[in-house]
Structure 1
Amino acid sequence: MSSLPRHCVVVGAGRMGSALAAALRAAGLDVSGPLRRGERCPQGTDCVLLCVPDAEIGKAAQDVAPGPLVGHVSGATTLAPLAPHEAFSLHPLMTVPATFEEAGAAIAGTTDRALDTARALAEALGMRTFEVADEDRAAYHAAASMAANYLVALEDAAERLLATTGASRELLVPLVRATVENWARDGARALTGPIARGDEQTVERQRAAVEERAPELLDLFDALANSTRELVA
């Protein structure tokens, strides 16, 4: 933990900034913030962690006086917007709010010292670090979005279709949790259902029901069915 900063300033009082500031403080670090838009960083800090929207990273970095290491927590953004600072990135592969313990953390740094600082901060929170090159960032972040953001969109679609039967979303929750746990253990071998069984007649009846009751979901249903067929093949 020798690469941990003596003092860290967290900029950005949204969900990620608030969660990281609290977690770092609980881990024993000297932390200021999370600072809100327009608040000045205190002098004498040796690390500034920007928890701001991707489009605002460059401007926020420009507002930091030269001297401290400057990092961001974006998964998709390279280190370029942080120039000319000695820079790092630390992206928790975890939805917020949640615990950071055991979560993955994608890290990068413009120098060995910056990279070591990113690693030390992540490990102080119990995260498992891995390095992501700039050319891999878009693919890495797309995978994270598919695993988390798009999963929520998918479950919302299932909820809307289920609502046409009069049943409530709570009935889907145990199914979703069990499916995720099975996938975590078995990967693609966790797949069940009519396509896995080769029962295309049932799939056609499902498709007709979607077309009748929630036609706005038909393209999504078809895309998912085709993707599932490719998985089975």
Structure 2
Amino acid sequence: MDSAAALGRIAIIGAGRMGTALAGAFREAGLEVTGPLGRGADGAGSEVVLLSVPDRAIAEAAAVVPPRPGLLVGHCSGATTLAPLAGHEGFSLHPLMTAPRSGARFTGATAAVDGSTPRALEAATALATSVGMRPVQVQEEDRAAYHASAAVASNFLTTVLDLAEALAGSAGVERERLRPIVQAAVDNWSRDGGAEALTGPVARGDDATVARHREAVARRRPEDLELFDALVAATRRLANRLDQGPSSV
């Protein structure tokens, strides 16, 4: 198909953050959208039904949609295969992007897509590109690993940054002061990869400084001491990938 507009009306079922964000983005792209609709809607009058519901609810939501010739039914889950869409010509479209309460912008983001037929895969690809996403097909056996990478990159990173914010705050330093070093670390990782981008006391083998860090965490964030220890161990494994020189950070 030439564009997502050729798909016809798209019904989005699920009024959470992602469903709401996708509905807005598709409308901005000039697509005909119904919703987001609440769970239990059947998507009547639409040529495409996109389920933006929790993974555990996909099969139930799909079962409410009556099969009919030409209808495409998709879900937005990153970890789930197409199995819960059985009985439909199914596809998946997972934006590799967070959708906070403030909304989401999808331009430039990757989208993991798949389809039970070539037409369904083509539809998922067209929907992704209509809002500026870059589609990549992820096979069913790889879905869990793919989605785990997304969780590590967004959720776990946020957890680590929350610890950094707490420690900085205990020293009278505001969260915004950490932004440049966080941005630089992300930029360096993006350009060079993890091992090459790694700096700091663990990378240069400064165990005395690491021990002082641990003492500070134990005093000021004792609930996160186990997390700190796990991060130090993982960082040492990363540092061992390369024979790194001295670090200035």
Q: Which residue of 2 aligns with 1:85?
A: 88
The amino acid of 2:142's aligned partner reads D
* Residue number in structure 2 paired with 1:59: 60
Normalised TM-score (structure 2): 0.89
Kindly indicate whether residue 24 of structure 2 is the aligned counterpart of residue 18 of structure 1.
no
Tell me the distance in 2 between the aligned counterparts of 1:145 and 1:169: 22
Cα shift at 1:38:
3.5
TM-score between both structures, scaled by the size of structure 1: 0.95
Residue aligning to 1:219: 226
* CA deviation after TM superposition for structure 1 residue 141, in Å: 0.5
Mapped partners of 1:209, 1:160: distance in 2: 11
Question: C-alpha distance in 2, partners of 1:54/1:39?
Answer: 17
1:107–1:131 CA contact under 8 A, matched in 2:
yes
Q: Is this contact kept in 2: 1:3–1:113, CA < 8 A?
A: no
Shift of 1:3: 6.0
Matched, 1:203 2:206: no
Q: Secondary structure at the match of 1:126?
A: coil
Aligned length: 232
Contact 1:12 1:50 in 2 (8 A): yes
SS of alignment partner, residue 179 of structure 1 = helix
Distance, in Å, in 1 between the alignment partners of 2:231 and 2:44 is: 50
Query: Is the Cα–Cα contact under 8 Å of residues 96 and 111 in structure 2 kept in the other structure?
Result: yes
Please give the per-residue CA displacement for 1:178-229, whole angstroms capped at 9, x wherever unaligned. 2112211222212111112221111111111111222211111111111111
Residue in 2 that maps onto 1:41 = 43
The CA distance in 1 between the partners of 2:238 and 2:41, in whole Å, is 51
Shift of 1:127: 1.1
Deviations 1:56-109 (A, max 9, x none): 111110111112110000001111111111100000011123211111010111
RMSD: 1.4
Letter aligned with residue 92 of structure 1: P
Q: Which runs of 5+ in 2 are unaligned?
A: 241-249
Asked if 1:2 is matched to 2:5, the reply is: no
**Residue type of the alignment partner of 1:127:** M
Deviations 1:21-76 (A, max 9, x none): 11111112111111123444232x21100011111111110111112110000001
Confirm or deny: 8 A CA contact 2:40 2:64 kept in the other structure: no
Match in the other structure for 2:244: none
Compute the displacement of 1:168 (Å). Answer: 2.2
Are 1:165 and 2:171 an aligned pair?
yes
- In structure 2, the residue matched to 1:50 is 51
SS of the equivalent of 2:172 reads coil
Partners of 2:51 and 2:58 within 8 A in 1: yes
User: 1:115 — aligned with what?
Assistant: 121
What percentage of residue pairs aligned between the two structures are identical?
Answer: 56
